[in-house]
Structure 1
């Protein structure tokens, strides 16, 4: 094989090698180096090679500096265009984007072969037969038996289309779409899961009654003893059933600045409300637990500073991690945080994504999590914002569902804040 043929083959395969590297989770440095080199150089090099071939047919040629600058600039531009395109459609994954870029690089190589000008054939006194194929073009013809330019163009188009539709299906991925460029859906229209089904509704509360349904909800953590709190976060509230109410078709969790003595021997400056599908006390059975499913709630958070509203899942064992935080507002009312916690070497490990800024206190918003056996996907108003397929991160045991309005994490409310309300229009859970 000639040097030019080897270069053509290496360039055509570079993207697919980078795509394969995304599967090498055990060696993150290797994965980062291989994919970075490909993204920085190869898509642009394929385009520059095609341009060189086209210019060569007209008697022009880029000098080396021009070629290097164009290679890097075109690579970065193509990478940005592909990433933004997937981001705008809410379908971005690193593997899918890499697959499309690999297909484009291969397509650029095919175009270079099509446009390459072969060296002139020597003059022959007899009638010339078919001109022999030279260089990259000849190697590709002989190796792949590609006989027509139209066939090469069609193959390139099919590569790009196939990569866009199905790239990255088997890779371990963590992807994020934190921006606000994807249009959110009207929360009122999100009566069914945004994730592909089929689905069966297994739990719901529309809060259309005049009081909380005790068959569905408890009003404290499993360690309830005439109230409770989350001491691990050093929160300022003591949860009490009186801070939970149902009216006007919504669940209301009310936090009020009121000195409250807890049964744990501490005095708390706030009383607040929470609900859970867990237990009435430590020795009781949980009302409902879930292993996998699509969890969604329509929530309006309070506008007051110093509040910590949350919609989440904790294990039936009451030992965390694991933990799935569908929506948390930590020190902000304009940005929602989505988090998965998992045990790692006896410690709590976590990865998270945030989405915002949005006027979340201004109305109801639907926060959801699709918990599958091989993936976790978070949704905000029907748009996927965070996705994780690392097997080590995905819980396998049953979990309880919770909504709560904590106070004072990460910092206390201002002195002029004395009351806050978290409203929940509905809660629904679907399973396959």
Structure 2
């Protein structure tokens, strides 16, 4: 089956219904479960960032020209092109809807190059008139042998953890997932649990949009490494999925297929 599968179950398992009933309204899922396999780019579902940037730390301008879908893959690019005061353009997509407790998954190949960030994350913030909540997977180009995990709660971060990615995150496709619940947040790399958060003060509670992006920085050298452009760079994505809390395995390779 190709393309995006929207899942709108009529009946939830009893345990799932109980979990949802216990969750605060602010963090219950708003968007339905989906599996995006990128046979095309559905712009009614995905918003393509274009013509702006996230601030002075980012050395590229988001450009729809750096977002392409072909052969069942999404490609996000970064290349030299002057737009405004930025010398580079880069690619990002984000869901138009917000999502809450559940399982977030991506199968991706990171970009190669110091000073780059290949990211899969959920986010909500002041632009949506909400507190800044965020859950991150970020592959920093200075060391693609690992992925950084992090989460922000009301704009407070400082929860970073580095996890090895066998063979290199930019050498092949790897699966990254997090399962977000009211009292627990679990991160997985290639189906293996690599980090668990149980402190409620470190777990976001506001519904968020889902993002995939590739960008660079000239200024965040300590974190991302010194930016050194040697030609166009790409991040590739084969699949992005969200499964609402209480629902089970929806596709082969989902981290949920191995959960109790």
The TM-score normalised by the length of structure 1 is 0.46
Structure 2 spans left out of the alignment, 5+ residues: 1-14, 18-31, 247-260
Residue aligning to 2:71:
248
Residue aligning to 1:350:
158
Whether the 8 Å CA contact 1:378–1:387 is kept in 2: the answer is yes
Counterpart selection for 1:292 from 101, 107, 115:
101
Give the drift of 1:260: 1.7
Q: Equivalents in 2 of 1:411, 1:324: separation in Å?
A: 22
Q: Does 1:336 align with 2:141?
A: no
Residue aligning to 1:366:
175
**Which structure shows the higher strand fraction?**
2
Give the drift of 1:306: 2.2
Whether the 8 Å CA contact 2:103–2:177 is kept in 1: the answer is yes
Residue aligning to 2:231:
418
Q: Equivalents in 2 of 1:330, 1:419: separation in Å?
A: 14
Whether the 8 Å CA contact 1:316–1:398 is kept in 2: the answer is no
Residue aligning to 1:213:
42
Give the drift of 1:304: 2.4
- 1:166-205 equivalences under 5 Å are 202-205=33-36
Residue aligning to 1:228:
52
Residue aligning to 2:91:
273
Residue aligning to 2:197:
388
Q: Equivalents in 1 of 2:199, 2:225: separation in Å?
A: 33
The TM-score normalised by the length of structure 2 is 0.74
Cα offsets for 1:161-186 (capped at 9, x unmatched): xxxxxxxxxxxxxxxxxxxxxxxxxx
Q: Do the aligned partners of residues 424 and 198 (structure 1) sit closer, same or farther apart at CA in structure 2, a change above 3 Å counting?
A: farther
Q: Equivalents in 1 of 2:135, 2:101: separation in Å?
A: 11
Q: Do the aligned partners of residues 291 and 317 (structure 1) sit closer, same or farther apart at CA in structure 2, a change above 3 Å counting?
A: farther
Whether the 8 Å CA contact 2:137–2:147 is kept in 1: the answer is no
Q: Equivalents in 2 of 1:300, 1:428: separation in Å?
A: 16
Give the drift of 1:230: 1.3
**Higher RCO (Cα < 8 Å, 6 or more apart):** 2
Counterpart selection for 1:303 from 89, 96, 112:
112
Cα offsets for 1:206-242 (capped at 9, x unmatched): 0123xx210111112xxxxx5111106x111100111
Q: Equivalents in 2 of 1:238, 1:340: separation in Å?
A: 24
Q: Equivalents in 2 of 1:383, 1:357: separation in Å?
A: 11
Counterpart selection for 1:321 from 106, 109, 132:
132
Q: Equivalents in 2 of 1:308, 1:387: separation in Å?
A: 23
Structure 1 spans left out of the alignment, 5+ residues: 1-196, 221-225, 262-266, 278-286
Q: Give the SS at the match of 1:348.
A: coil
Give the drift of 1:320: 5.4
Q: Equivalents in 1 of 2:107, 2:78: separation in Å?
A: 19
Q: What is the root-mean-square deviation in Å for CA atoms of aligned residues? A: 2.3
Q: Equivalents in 1 of 2:163, 2:105: separation in Å?
A: 17
Whether the 8 Å CA contact 1:300–1:360 is kept in 2: the answer is yes
Cα offsets for 1:102-135 (capped at 9, x unmatched): xxxxxxxxxxxxxxxxxxxxxxxxxxxxxxxxxx
Q: Do the aligned partners of residues 321 and 301 (structure 1) sit closer, same or farther apart at CA in structure 2, a change above 3 Å counting?
A: same
